[in-house]
């Protein structure tokens, strides 16, 4: 299994710092997540019912009919190679953006579909031959974004030879103008775009494990068969519906995240070039391991990447956390 952010207990043990004394910036999760409402007792007593209002609410939120609820978008990431590469005989069946969220390449590698690693500059070249092209928008970890017009042109090129475009929009709720969700339905069953959404990042509901696949009917059906019944728990369905329906909270959160990510980028600017998305900042750094360790020794957990070398910083959530990060960064830069 791959390593991910959020392993705070391991960091506490490795550095000998109690859990309560950490500032965890390793995950890119909104630190001021959706305020979970009180849950009705019956959602704990009954099996989840897929004819509740969750799908309709999600469809209205994303602008795509019949989104498929998932136990986090990770479930679709693991199942999509079986669905989209069925019968593929190409030497290079899958192409995955690099760097990017590692689970995508991992899933296709275990399926035997490659994958070919492509860059943001070579999407069009990959689209001419790949059976499946996978990318994140915004990208994780380097915050690269792709204009919808460009991605639609890539999807059209893929469609010429029966290829698929998979766009992971796990960090996309803060920038809905970049989403392809509304384009999924346009070609009906002949469409070739799959969009993955998650409530873990923007909504701060990572523990609920709720995501959605927006896809043509045949892909949704195949995914549902592989994932099985009751993919999302009753309590999680209730919370997800409330979050997706609360447009006022969503809009206020987009404004706050834009402000906070700009603040974080300014704070990191003395260290070099900073790339930012609404939920994290990416700091390319030649000796990223040393910087990551220096921060961890002071109780600040970030996400270390080796290739490319860099450190990803999530957002602090309180004034005290912002002040602490500033103090620690100053201390690391000028330890004397």
Q: What is the pLDDT of residues 55-79, one digit of tens each?
A: 999 999 999 999 999 999 999 999 9
Task: Out of 3.40.50.880, 3.90.1150.10, 3.40.50.1370, 3.30.360.10, select the CATH number for domain 8-33+248-333.
Answer: 3.90.1150.10
Q: Using DSSP bridges, classify how beta strands 164-168 and 193-198 pair: parallel, antiparallel or unpaired.
A: parallel
The Cα 304–Cα 316 span in angstroms is 17
Q: List Cβ neighbours of 57 (8 Å cut-off, separation of 6 or more).
A: 241, 244, 245
Class of domain 42-245: alpha beta
- CB distance 332 to 302 below 8 Å: no
Longest pairwise C-alpha distance within the chain? 64
The sign of the torsion formed by the CA atoms of 129, 130, 136, 140 equals negative
Going residue by residue through the chain, which has 336 residues, state the pLDDT in tens, using 9 for 90 and above: 666 666 899 999 999 999 999 999 999 999 999 999 999 999 999 999 989 999 999 999 999 999 999 999 999 999 999 999 987 654 558 999 999 999 999 999 877 656 899 999 999 999 999 999 999 999 999 999 999 999 999 999 999 999 999 999 999 999 999 999 999 998 666 799 999 999 999 999 999 999 999 999 999 999 999 999 999 999 999 999 999 999 999 999 999 999 999 999 999 999 999 999 999 999 999 999 999 999 999 999 999 999 899 999 999 999 999 999 999 999 998 653
The sign of the torsion formed by the CA atoms of 38, 42, 45, 50 equals negative
Question: What is the enclosing helix (H) or strand (E) of 162?
Answer: none
Q: What percent of the chain has pLDDT over 70?
A: 94
Which candidate, 135, 52, 55, places its Cα nearest to that of 99?
A: 135
Domain residue spans of the chain: 8-33+248-333, 42-245
Question: What is the enclosing helix (H) or strand (E) of 195?
Answer: strand 193-198
What pTM, to 2 d.p., does this model score? 0.94
């Amino acid at each position: 299994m791959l390593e991910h952010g959020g392993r705070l207990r391991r960091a506490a043990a490795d550095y000998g710092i109690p859990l309560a004394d950490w500032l965890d910036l390793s995950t890119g999760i909104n630190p001021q997540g959706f305020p979970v409402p009180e849950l009705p007792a019956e959602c704990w007593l009954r099996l989840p019912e897929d004819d509740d209002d969750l799908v309709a609410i999600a469809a209205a939120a994303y602008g795509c009919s019949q989104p498929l609820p998932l136990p986090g978008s990770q479930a679709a990431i693991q199942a999509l190679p079986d669905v989209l590469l069925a019968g593929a005989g190409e030497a290079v069946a899958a192409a995955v953006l690099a760097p990017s969220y590692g689970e995508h390449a991992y899933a296709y590698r275990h399926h035997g579909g490659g994958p070919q690693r492509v860059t943001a500059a070579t999407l069009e070249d990959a689209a001419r031959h790949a059976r499946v092209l996978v990318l994140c928008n915004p990208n994780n970890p380097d915050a690269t974004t792709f204009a919808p017009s460009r991605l639609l042109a890539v999807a059209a090129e893929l469609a010429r030879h029966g290829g698929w475009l998979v766009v992971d929009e796990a960090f996309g709720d803060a920038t809905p103008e970049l989403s392809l969700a509304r384009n999924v339905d346009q070609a009906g069953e002949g469409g070739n775009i799959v969009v993955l959404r998650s409530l873990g990042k923007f909504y701060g509901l990572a523990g609920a494990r709720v995501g959605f696949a927006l896809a043509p009917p045949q892909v949704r059906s195949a995914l549902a068969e592989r994932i099985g019944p009751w993919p999302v728990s009753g309590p999680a369905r209730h919370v997800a519906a409330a979050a997706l329906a609360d447009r006022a909270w969503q809009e206020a959160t987009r404004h706050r995240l834009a402000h906070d990510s700009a603040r974080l980028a300014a704070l990191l600017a003395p260290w070099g070039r900073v790339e930012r998305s609404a939920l994290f900042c990416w700091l390319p750094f030649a000796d990223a391991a040393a910087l990551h360790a220096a921060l961890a020794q002071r109780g600040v957990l970030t996400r270390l990447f080796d290739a490319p070398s860099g450190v990803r910083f999530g957002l602090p959530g309180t004034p005290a956390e912002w002040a602490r990060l500033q103090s620690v960064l100053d201390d690391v830069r000028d330890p004397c």
